[in-house]
Amino acid sequence: MKRNWNQAFQIAAVYVGTVVGAGFATGKEIVEFFSRFGFFGFISILMSGYLFVMIGSKMMRMAAQIEAKSYQEFNEYLFGKWAGSVINIFMLLMLLGVSAVMLAGAGAVFDEQLGLPRNIGVFLTIFLSYLVMLVGTKGLFAVNTFVVPLMITFSLILMFLSVQMPNFLEQFLYIPHAPDGWKSVIAPFSYAALNLGLAQAVLVPVATEVKDDWTIKWGGILGGLALTLILIGSHFTLIMLPNLELYDIPMAIIMKNLAPFFYWIFVLVIYGEIFTSVIGNVFGLDRQLQQLVPVSTMVSVTAIFAVSYLISLVNYSTLLSYLYPLFGYICMSFFILLWMKPFTPSKRN
């Protein structure tokens, strides 16, 4: 059988692009879950990386094997018909909430970094998302294949510059006092659960369309490894920023200080990653809504953006700090069942 590495890399790019959203690309989410705990945060990142590789790959392979066309079908397979329906309602609400966080993140980029009204960023994102949604899966692949390598490259550049700073080792090994330090123990599980639980909206239908088990398996492995690399690079960078919890977009602040010649390109890359997550979430929600209500893509996407926009009017940092940890705990049931569910690859693959 011919090994399709090109398609495996495309799946990996969609995997990374779906997970690396507003909170991840800006650094705010990594601060909240990991970097504020210092060295303990680094240990948590390594555990998260392992979970992204193993559980992410398993989720996509399992979805393709049962031919699940949406996360609704996949959750009903995991939880059963009744419990799956309840989980799907939560998933619908969470995806809307995360789409709102992404739109708020786009607004924060325009406001904090470009000095422009936040609504310009929000409405530009909505407009561009409409264009990609009209193309469908190919548009999703194309955008992620372009943006994800740029994000990895800039993460490595920042990491390289950070580790050369004279007090890097001291900061790396430092364990700051945190009143909620116990969260560093559950962070790798709640973080992986949050991101995989939400990413299934995109990854389940994509894996089912691809079908080939080898391609999906290696797409999941490569995507998980890339996410781990970006997490480590971002953490190495963020720990060098004093008062890192005060900023909405800490990664851009660091780039401005360490490599100002790359700053504007990096801001565009951050925006690009936010954009890939917006279209990923809307893609998954659109597939789900069309199974529930027979409407056109334009109608369902308009409804999704209308609700997301109203939620996004809340401050970006507030949304992320409260919604993401909450969603992470809710997704733990999905994560545990997925972990425990036996999986045997089909012989035809």
Inform me whether the pLDDT recorded for 27 exceeds 70. Answer: yes
pLDDT tens column, 48-68: 999 999 998 998 998 888 888
Token pair, residue 220, equals 């999941």
Inform me whether the pLDDT recorded for 222 exceeds 50. Answer: yes
pLDDT tens column, 129-152: 888 777 766 666 677 677 778 877
> How buried is 162 (Cβ within 10 angstroms: 0-12 exposed, 13-18 middle, 19+ buried)?
buried
pTM of the model: 0.78
pLDDT band at 194; cut points 50, 70, 90: confident
| Distance from C-alpha of 235 to C-alpha of 35, rounded to nearest angstrom | 6
Q: What would the mean pLDDT of 6-15 be, rounded to a whole number?
A: 85
User: Which H/E stretch holds residue 293?
Assistant: none
DSSP 73-108: HHHHHHH-HHHHHHHHHHHHHHHHHHHHHHHHHHHH
| Distance from C-alpha of 30 to C-alpha of 27, rounded to nearest angstrom | 5
| Distance from C-alpha of 61 to C-alpha of 74, rounded to nearest angstrom | 11
Q: Cβ distance 288 to 201 under 8 Å?
A: yes
CA-nearest of 122, 7, 127, 125 to 60 is 7
Calculated CA dihedral for residues 201, 203, 209, 210, nearest 10 degrees: 180
Q: Which of 104-113, 172-181, 215-224 has the highest mean pLDDT?
A: 215-224
Inform me whether the pLDDT recorded for 213 exceeds 90. Answer: no
Mean of the per-residue pLDDT values of the chain: 81
Q: What is the pLDDT of residue 1?
A: 45
* Those residues with Cβ within 8 angstroms of residue 42's Cβ, 6 or more apart along the chain or in another chain: 34, 172, 232, 235
pLDDT tens column, 253-309: 787 887 788 788 878 887 887 887 788 778 778 877 777 777 777 888 888 888 888
Inform me whether the pLDDT recorded for 189 exceeds 80. Answer: yes
Token pair, residue 188, equals 């790798």
Q: Cβ distance 167 to 246 under 8 Å?
A: no
